[in-house]
Structure 1
Amino acid sequence: MSQSPFIRVYQRKSKSPWDDHSTVLLLADIDENDNNPRALQFTRYIYLHRDIKGQHQS
């Protein structure tokens, strides 16, 4: 399975205040200087923190 730039499963314990297992990228900048249409920049971004069951953490 190839890795998605939009979903990240933690390889070590998260430093966030939630009991989260993974994050889903909801918003990020696109690097317009790169020819790859999936080249992302992270100057502005939004992540959704999810627990091991995939439910969001609030």
Structure 2
Amino acid sequence: MSHDFELCENVSDYMFFDSSHTTEKANRHTAESMWDGPSDLVGPFNLKTLFQNL
């Protein structure tokens, strides 16, 4: 059985390149948010604060 599909021309415009895998841009945004995002997003503190206080 064959399925037709189209590849995305510019994956950086999208969060997912298929139904479950995030793009590099989405992964970078998540990592940067975890590193130094605001406490209401990644609280009670982000990873940068955690490592500074060790």
TM-score normalized by the length of structure 1: 0.20
The structure richer in helix per residue is: 2
**Which one has a larger percent strand, Structure 1 or Structure 2?**
1
Q: Which has the higher contact order (CA 8 A, sep 6+)?
A: 1
Computing the radius of gyration over CA atoms, which structure comes out larger, 1 or 2? Answer: 2
Q: Could you state the TM-score of these two structures normalised by the residue count of structure 2?
A: 0.21
